[in-house]
Structure 1
């Protein structure tokens, strides 16, 4: 899938456009169905006599050395091919990768529906406005409350909903994503019969994201969050809210194959 953004003039006879390309590779011979994502800039030189494109150069945002088959470029392709993390074939919030750096992504999320544990349930302890560790008992209570809602035990009419991914946790809250394809809006969701569960629509917007595998311990999640905030500061991006941990897989998935992410909203991203 190739998405092209604004085309603009960058020279007397030169035009440029930014783009995102997402390419899925076949299961054979890879078995794990890798997906490659690149963003970058296309620069096209125009022939003044024919007004046709005479030169075309593509650059990737994730590498510095833009030469054809540069070691850095080959390494970037191989890194993505041999990313063994698995994303379940379930409905998930839609997003577009607007810019893919070597160490993180900038994404534009569509709005999505969630069932959320209420503010009275402390999932992660806070210090200086940032999460420090997960309270296992509170997390278990939150998960059970949300599971009760989607499995029909705690919603009006006993509607059983399809599984989605990921599970989000941030700022003392846990969220299950709900199917927007089926319900479209909060008003069309079955009402919750549990005081612990709130239904809402997240507005989406611009976020930075960094993926990591393994077991999403508090220490691992906090380390990735620190790295992501450091990258944002390096690149002049202003974070505008707390980080969220996104966990895509069930507990029975091999930790080496798990897809976990830290995402943080940003307020000043420009193409």
Structure 2
């Protein structure tokens, strides 16, 4: 009976994700104030992320490569012994790997650094560097992300290279109009799986600001 209930729960969560409904998907906490034209300024506290660096491939190819590499880590490709429930939508794919499973959080972050793409999964807040299991893949590293202030612009629809570039330029224009100074490179944040209806997707561009 428990197995039937689990499958039913996963089915409901997966169907919900098609419409952009996120069941219990944890996000890093932040304080926000409205900026202009739909943008916000957000202050994030310290966070822990699993990240991987992908050589300078095409943006979408690098994103896919990095996502798969990090997904293996949270699905159980790690030196762990405890089992932790996954959250939708990735819960449908769990249960076949050894080791500890780590809950998926949103967003998935992507930015370019010195000719490489850096892809990050933020870890659930109950984990620390000391308690997180060590990745099996040495291309995956656990890092502490320092507190930071971002200007953030949310958008729906596709998240291909051109769409991300358009929204990044839009946010840069807003910063110029409002007198904010960028303090780093733009990062793209993605909250939904590929099968979510484009009109229901939550995507964001984030630029560190002073």
1:222 corresponds to which residue?
A: 165
Preserved contact between residue 63 and residue 110 of structure 2 (Cα < 8 Å): no
Coordinate RMSD, CA, aligned: 2.1
1:144, 1:199 → 2: CA distance? 16
Per-residue deviation, 1:103: 3.1
2:191, 2:38 → 1: CA distance? 20
1:193, 1:239 → 2: CA distance? 36
What are the residue-to-residue correspondences of 1:26-45 with 2, within 5 Å? none
Preserved contact between residue 105 and residue 123 of structure 2 (Cα < 8 Å): yes
- Secondary structure at the counterpart of residue 174 of structure 2: helix
Report how many residues are paired. 172
Runs of 4+ deviating beyond 6 Å: none
1:241, 1:105 → 2: CA distance? 17
Calculate the TM-score normalised by the size of structure 2.
0.75
The 3 A distance-change label for structure 1 pair 266 and 146 is same
1:110 corresponds to which residue?
A: 45
Higher relative CO (Cα under 8 Å, sequence separation at least 6) belongs to 2
Match of residue 207, structure 1, among 150, 166, 170: 150
- Secondary structure at the counterpart of residue 179 of structure 2: coil
1:166, 1:105 → 2: CA distance? 16
1:177 corresponds to which residue?
A: 122
2:51, 2:142 → 1: CA distance? 6
Higher strand share: 1
What are the residue-to-residue correspondences of 1:78-97 with 2, within 5 Å? 86=21, 89-97=24-32
2:5 corresponds to which residue?
A: none
1:101, 1:86 → 2: CA distance? 26
Higher helix share: 2
Q: What stretches of structure 2 of length at least 5 have no aligned partner?
A: 1-18, 82-98
Calculate the TM-score normalised by the size of structure 1.
0.59
1:71 corresponds to which residue?
A: none
Q: What stretches of structure 1 of length at least 5 have no aligned partner?
A: 1-83, 126-132
1:146 corresponds to which residue?
A: 70
